[in-house]
């Protein structure tokens, strides 16, 4: 009779997991950078015919686990290759004019416009103008990569009519059993996601004052008809010499400085943290659950900042998993109002398209 073989280790699974988890956190803390300056984003020519630079991405030296942020440039007369991927992406145009085709639908854009590139949609961009066009993209690729679901397919300059459509899904079926309910739920979800809005024109924006002391507007959000995978994009404007009230939340948030210059306070407590200066073209990284407050250092002009995070997916999930712990916090109303001031007192300028540089 042979004895059963057994796996033995020098230490318990407890010690192995504890060491591995500590090393993982330490590695990712070393990647953290609060402000990525425009000057630090090196543009490189790519096989798509465009130039790409990394603000935050594992394809640069500042990886992340949730979203990424890239800069893209298209020279006059250039049309990129057509490709698609398994993740959603948001686009913010900061210079020049051009167009993007999404599953064959052509959208013309200019500075300040925003677009949604749905998962699995074929898309390419072109520049028929006389100046270089530049835009930022923000995507959920790192989140999908953690689950082994990041897929990218490039088809060169193949006409979209010759390419396969988005992945098929089954239609609804009758029945009260769990499988039938799942079929109906997923079919409805896919139809909804494939009918969402794709473009926000800068000229149609309306900025409204908020209790945080700024005036704001949605750029890409389900509140205005978009059907993304959780990434939302909004813009807030800070009056001359003013600041936004303090708050904190879980998950990373990117803040792209569209216009102006200022600084951001960040700290584990409302006092005793650090101030981080920023200017036009920089990306501010608000790390997990830090108290933060943004200030406009100009005595004359306003500052426009575009905020991107995964509130409708990652952050909502975290809030449910951690309930009843409160994860989104603001100071009491009287402190918030003292920090923010009255936004109605500000002589807000006309909402003009951003300029570059």
106-156 pLDDT per residue, tens:
999 999 999 999 999 999 999 999 999 999 999 999 999 999 999 999 999
Q: CA-to-CA distance for 266 and 263, rounded, in angstroms?
A: 10
Same-fold call for 35-168 versus 199-345: yes
CATH number of 199-345: 2.60.120.10
- CATH level 3 topology of 35-168: Jelly Rolls (2.60.120)
Q: What is the DSSP string of 131-175?
A: S-EEEEEEE-HHHHHHTT---EEE-TT--GGGS--SPP-PPP---
Q: How many degrees, rounded to 5, is the angle at CA 86 between CA 184 and CA 200?
A: 85
User: What's residue 6's pLDDT?
Assistant: 62
| CA 92 to the chain's CA centroid | 10
What are the extents of the domains in the chain?
35-168, 199-345
Using one digit for the tens of pLDDT, what is the confidence trace for 230-278? 889 999 999 999 999 999 988 788 999 999 999 999 999 999 999 999 9
Q: Please, what's the b/e burial string for 219-249 (b: 16 or more CB within 10 A of its CB; e: otherwise)?
A: bbbeeeebbbbbbbbbbbbbbbebbbbbebb
Q: What is the pTM of this model?
A: 0.92
User: What's residue 9's pLDDT?
Assistant: 57
User: What's residue 98's pLDDT?
Assistant: 98
User: What's residue 4's pLDDT?
Assistant: 59
């Amino acid at each position: 009779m042979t004895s059963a073989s057994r796996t033995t280790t020098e230490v318990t699974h407890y010690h192995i997991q504890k060491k591995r988890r500590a090393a993982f956190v330490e590695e990712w803390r070393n990647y953290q950078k609060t402000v990525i300056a425009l000057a630090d984003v090196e543009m490189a020519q790519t096989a798509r015919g465009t130039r790409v630079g990394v603000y935050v991405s594992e394809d640069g030296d500042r990886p992340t686990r949730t979203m990424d942020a890239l800069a893209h440039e298209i020279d006059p007369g250039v049309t990129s290759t057509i490709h698609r991927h398994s993740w959603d992406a948001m686009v913010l145009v900061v210079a020049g004019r051009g167009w993007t085709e999404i599953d064959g639908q052509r959208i013309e854009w200019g500075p300040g416009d925003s677009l949604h590139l749905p998962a699995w949609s074929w898309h390419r961009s072109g520049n028929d103008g006389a100046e270089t066009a530049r835009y930022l993209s923000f995507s959920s690729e790192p989140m999908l990569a953690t689950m082994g679901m990041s897929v990218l397919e490039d088809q060169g300059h193949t006409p979209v009519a010759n390419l396969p459509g988005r992945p098929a899904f089954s239609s609804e079926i009758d029945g009260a059993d769990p499988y039938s309910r799942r079929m109906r739920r997923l079919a409805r979800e896919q139809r909804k996601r494939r009918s969402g809005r794709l473009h926000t024109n800068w000229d149609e924006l309306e900025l409204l004052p908020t209790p945080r002391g700024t005036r704001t507007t949605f750029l890409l959000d389900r509140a205005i008809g978009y059907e993304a995978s959780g990434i939302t994009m909004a813009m807030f404007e800070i009056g001359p010499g003013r600041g936004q009230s303090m708050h904190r939340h879980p998950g990373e948030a990117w803040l792209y400085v569209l216009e102006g210059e200022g600084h951001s306070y960040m700290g584990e407590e409302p006092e005793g943290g650090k101030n981080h200066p920023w200017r036009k073209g920089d990306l501010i990284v608000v790390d997990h659950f830090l108290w933060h407050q943004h200030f406009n250092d100009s005595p004359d002009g306003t500052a426009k900042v575009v905020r991107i995070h995964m509130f409708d997916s990652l952050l909502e999930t975290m809030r449910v998993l951690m309930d009843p712990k409160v994860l989104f916090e603001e100071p009491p109303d009287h402190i918030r109002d003292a920090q923010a001031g009255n936004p109605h007192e500000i002589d807000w300028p006309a909402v003009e398209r951003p300029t570059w540089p």
